[in-house]
Chain A
Amino acid sequence: MPRGMRIAALREFVSGGRRRYPWLLATTSILVAALLLVPLVAIVAQALQAGWGQVWLVLDRSFVATLLWNTIKLAVVVTILCAVIGTGCAWLTERTSLPGRRTWAVLLIVPFVIPDFVLAWTWTSVFPAIHGYSGAVLVMTLHLYPLVYLPMAAAFRAADPGQVEAARVLGLSKRAAWLRISLRQARTTLLGGCLLVCLALLSYYGAFENLRYQTFTTAIFGEIRTQFSPAVASSLSLVLVALSLFILGGEGMFRERGRVQRSGAMAQRAQTPIQLGRTRFLAVAGVATTVGLALGFPVAVVVYWMTTGSSSGLPTSVSFWAAMGYTALYSALGAVLATALALPVSLLTIRHPRRWTATLERSTFITQAIPGVVIGLALVYVVSRHLNFLYQSPQLLVIAYALMFFPLGLVALSSSVARASPRLEEIGRSLGKGPLAVRLTVTAPLLAPGLAAAFCFLFLSSVTELTATLLLAPTGVRTLATQFWAYAEESASLGAAAPYAAAMIAMSAVPAYLLGRWFDQRIVGEPGGSWFQEEVP
């Protein structure tokens, strides 16, 4: 690099960077966001095709009011429970002398890999009385609390202890300092986790069907199985989209108010864990109960059915291993694709924050609230009409996985992208390294953990995807999830279904363990994996 450029780079670094606007990055991000909105556009188009009169006929019924109330009361209670359990467990594993905290830290994440429909099935097969609202609250809370736990653990670890210390010096009690400083510091993260819980809840299907709890998703499925009008299902999904917009808007408003400033740049350091004393038995009991109910119980039931169900025994080996292979292949490719799509969006929103980029980022979260079956139908509608060569191809299924789980990839990437500050690249450049060398030696290592985390998250979500897979999978291809469903729901063969559940759990346990280790190894002193990174420019 010529000397003049080096000086220019240094000057730019010193002046805080007055860089040219990254048009390419912006264009790519807009294209990605547009791609993610394709299913949404298809839903609206189908509804419009039927005409608003028809849509209104579907929506203006007391049945829809029941569904709305069912969905809202579930979302509110489960989100609160997840927030309490997730925050409590995160605080215990990150800030206290909880015995075995490193082991608990990993175990607390793993329940997320047990598919919602498997979890519900294990509970109802042992306790048939569990159903309806209370059952849905139980199962969804146990399934979703890791979405709060994971970011909160990272946030607690990364939080600035200086402020707590200052508060204590100024005379606040320990409890008051925790409430007013620690929790406030983590507020944005908590909201982010709650947002994911809320949006995920809207789109679940299998668990609710099993628990006989009517939500929009089960109703949409009912429509698809009994009606011959895709417009009807589309009308109901419009309500879900509206709900998700409402949730996103609300979270956005809170977030604006909850900005956190650090007492100094990178003000993180090792913190002395709070000694629990006698309450540690209580703490262990609490954490162990959570892990036991969310992980121990379902795993035990699956093993039980594998060994005792009358139709048990490994299913015919060919289809079992084929299902396993296809599941791994499609999930991995979907995860790679979604990570690749999320990277430009993440770079743009974190490195070049503007109001519109925040909106762009938010818009990608809507797909999270649309049930897989609706995305599947929308893609069938679009692809069979306009891109017939893709119809029922493996490519389409992979693309569908990438679209559906994109927000998870974005979320997992954000902390690493924030750490890979362009300033660091500029320092590298100013030290005389070429652009490629800087990318390889500075940016890539900083991004790598985020990319790996995104991949793991996306992979384990795709492994358990059921409803879009049923519609979009190439003819003849069966995944672990569709096989489990065929045996558990269609044939009520508990023994035959159990091995597929076990395989799904085993397959997702590896990335989940890696994720857990990744979060666990974040060295104190690095900016932590805040869910929605608030980088002060």
Chain B
Amino acid sequence: MERTTTRARLQALAMAGAVIATGLGLASCGGTGAGGGGGTITLYSGQHQQLSQAIVAAFTKQTGIHVRVRTDDGIVLANQILQEGSTSPADVYLTENSPELMLLTEHHLLAQLPASTTDQIPSRYNSPTGNWVGVALRVCSLVYNPSLISQSQLPSSFLELSQAKWKGKLAITPTDSDFVPQVGAVIATYGRPAALSWLQGLKSNAALYQSEEATVAAVNRGQQAVGVINQYYWYRLRLEVGAKDTHSKLYFFPNRDVGAIENIGGAAVLASSSHQADAKKFVAFLASAQAQQLVSAGDDFEYPARAGIAANPALPPLSLVNPAVINVVSLGNDLTAASLLQEAGLT
């Protein structure tokens, strides 16, 4: 009897030992955890790593403030902030599309930005309530493979893509968080019922890809004739594979069609942030000429939001593209677009 008790004790001891050892190991690898002292802020970034890293490095060099970066999809991070609520470790949220920012504003999770920051950027790219500031723009476009389809056969409007003649020729990315605002734009322009039947048409026509990178690559290889992408993915592909292996071209819908909507990405300070001053410094830096030049300079191929900063010379001037402009308020918060995508069975 005693013997087995001893054994049980020993087993417990061994287990406790293992757990404590693990705990110690963990404690020693801490230091990167949440919290953080003065001079460090946490950025939730839905932007491409290359761009966010370049901007953060320049900011730290200038101010001495360190920035921890959490990179993920913009909507995923917005979801995370919604879940975290007032305990969010994030100080700044940077994303590629305005609807996420509008949603967080509605939940009163974003702090008011100083006018000195928002004044840096044209007001149509900013939060109407002063809660976020525009940073970079992309334009929705069509990538096509000239060996499969000639330019004259391309649609003149976004809505045409739901017609049966596009069956088997079209690639879309319905589960990319960049696609949701495009649906939102169709809803804002044509109304919910028209948008739903458009999505149902897309579902029966299109091959579904999981990222816009994959969509543009498929068209470039000749697997699909056309694909809906944000324009900069085509430039990024061309950079990666080289001009020689770029077998696709970019097409912008004419006449300010909703297929050529301008997507505004921006940044905000969280209301729950305990580093308001440093966080606001970072957002101000994002709007500054220095950071805006980094948007143009790198391999990002977005348009800087700030006026007077020349875009990457590889890009056509925005005035030439002549994109559709939809007010960030009418574009809304993604919720209707998301439920419509679900209703159409695309997600």
Are A129 and B223 within 8 A (Cβ)?
yes
Task: Write the nearest CB–CB distance from B32 to chain A, whole angstroms.
Answer: 4
Q: Name the contact of B210 in the complex, choosing from A22, A209, A339 (C-beta under 8 A).
A: A209
Are A492 and B34 within 8 A (Cβ)?
no
Stretch at the interface among A145-153, A276-284, A390-398: A390-398
User: Known contacts A19-B4, A61-B345, A486-B71: does B79 contact A340 (CB below 8 Å)?
Assistant: no
User: Could you give, for residues 279-320 of chain A, a 1 whenever the CB lies within 8 Å of some chain B CB and a 0 otherwise?
Assistant: 000000000000000000000000000000111000000000
In whole angstroms, what is the CA distance A486 to B217 when docked? 16
A-chain residues with CB within 8 Å of residue B19 when the two chains form the complex: 337, 340
Tell me if A's interface is mostly helix, strand, loop or mixed: helix
Task: Write the nearest CB–CB distance from B345 to chain A, whole angstroms.
Answer: 4
User: Could you give, for residues 71-93 of chain B, a 1 whenever the CB lies within 8 Å of some chain A CB and a 0 otherwise?
Assistant: 11101101110111101010000
Quick check: is A353 within 8 A (CB to CB) of the other chain?
no
User: Known contacts A226-B180, A336-B25, A491-B213: does B84 contact A384 (CB below 8 Å)?
Assistant: yes
Least CB separation from B337: chain A residue: A226
Are B68 and A476 within 8 A (Cβ)?
yes
Quick check: is B242 within 8 A (CB to CB) of the other chain?
yes
Q: Name the contact of A62 in the complex, choosing from B8, B14, B30, B345 (C-beta under 8 A).
A: B345
B-chain residues with CB within 8 Å of residue A470 when the two chains form the complex: 72
Are A388 and B25 within 8 A (Cβ)?
no
Quick check: is B49 within 8 A (CB to CB) of the other chain?
yes
- The count of residues in chain A whose C-beta lies closer than 8 Å to any C-beta of chain B is 73
Are A490 and B213 within 8 A (Cβ)?
yes
Are B22 and A333 within 8 A (Cβ)?
yes
Are B240 and A494 within 8 A (Cβ)?
yes
Are A489 and B342 within 8 A (Cβ)?
no
Residues of B12-34 whose CB lies within 8 A of A: 12, 14-15, 18-19, 21-22, 25-26, 29-30, 32-34
Task: Write the nearest CB–CB distance from A463 to chain B, whole angstroms.
Answer: 16
Tier of interface size on chain B: 35 or more
In whole angstroms, what is the CA distance A149 to B310 when docked? 60
In whole angstroms, what is the CA distance A64 to B288 when docked? 47
User: Known contacts A486-B71, A491-B48: does B3 contact A394 (CB below 8 Å)?
Assistant: no
A-chain residues with CB within 8 Å of residue B9 when the two chains form the complex: 24
B-chain residues with CB within 8 Å of residue A9 when the two chains form the complex: 3
Stretch at the interface among B135-143, B169-177, B279-287, B313-321: B169-177
Are A221 and B4 within 8 A (Cβ)?
no
A-chain residues with CB within 8 Å of residue B4 when the two chains form the complex: 19-20, 22
Task: Write the nearest CB–CB distance from B210 to chain A, whole angstroms.
Answer: 4
User: Known contacts A435-B6, A490-B213: does B347 contact A226 (CB below 8 Å)?
Assistant: yes
Quick check: is A227 within 8 A (CB to CB) of the other chain?
yes
Are A394 and B32 within 8 A (Cβ)?
yes
Least CB separation from A339: chain B residue: B18
Residues of B239-253 whose CB lies within 8 A of A: 239-242
User: Known contacts A223-B347, A226-B347: does B210 contact A384 (CB below 8 Å)?
Assistant: no
User: Known contacts A226-B179, A333-B22: does B210 contact A393 (CB below 8 Å)?
Assistant: no
B-chain residues with CB within 8 Å of residue A384 when the two chains form the complex: 83-85, 87
Are B83 and A435 within 8 A (Cβ)?
no
User: Known contacts A224-B79, A228-B75: does B210 contact A212 (CB below 8 Å)?
Assistant: yes
In whole angstroms, what is the CA distance A230 to B11 when docked? 40
Quick check: is A92 within 8 A (CB to CB) of the other chain?
no
Are B242 and A394 within 8 A (Cβ)?
no
Task: Write the nearest CB–CB distance from B5 to chain A, whole angstroms.
Answer: 8
Least CB separation from B74: chain A residue: A225
Residues of A219-249 whose CB lies within 8 A of B: 219, 221-228, 230, 232
Quick check: is B221 within 8 A (CB to CB) of the other chain?
yes
Are A395 and B26 within 8 A (Cβ)?
yes
Are B342 and A58 within 8 A (Cβ)?
yes
In whole angstroms, what is the CA distance A486 to B342 when docked? 27
Task: Write the nearest CB–CB distance from A63 to chain B, whole angstroms.
Answer: 4
Quick check: is B50 within 8 A (CB to CB) of the other chain?
yes
Quick check: is B309 within 8 A (CB to CB) of the other chain?
no
User: Could you give, for residues 373-392 of chain A, a 1 whenever the CB lies within 8 Å of some chain B CB and a 0 otherwise?
Assistant: 00000001100100010011
A-B contact pairs, 8 of them (CB 8 A): A22-B11, A23-B8, A230-B79, A333-B26, A340-B18, A380-B84, A475-B68, A491-B240
Which 10 pairs between the two chains have the least Cβ-Cβ distance?
Answer: A222-B175, A340-B18, A476-B68, A63-B345, A393-B33, A492-B213, A475-B70, A209-B210, A24-B8, A474-B32
Additional 13 contacts, C-beta under 8 A, given A344-B11, A489-B213: A22-B11, A221-B210, A336-B22, A337-B19, A340-B19, A347-B11, A380-B83, A384-B84, A391-B87, A439-B10, A474-B34, A490-B213, A491-B49
Question: Which A residues form the contact surface with B (CB < 8 A)?
Answer: 5, 8-9, 19-20, 22-25, 28, 58, 61-63, 128-129, 209-210, 212, 214, 218-219, 221-228, 230, 232, 309-311, 329-330, 333, 336-337, 339-340, 343-344, 347, 380-381, 384, 388, 391-395, 398, 429, 435-436, 439, 470-471, 474-477, 486, 489-495
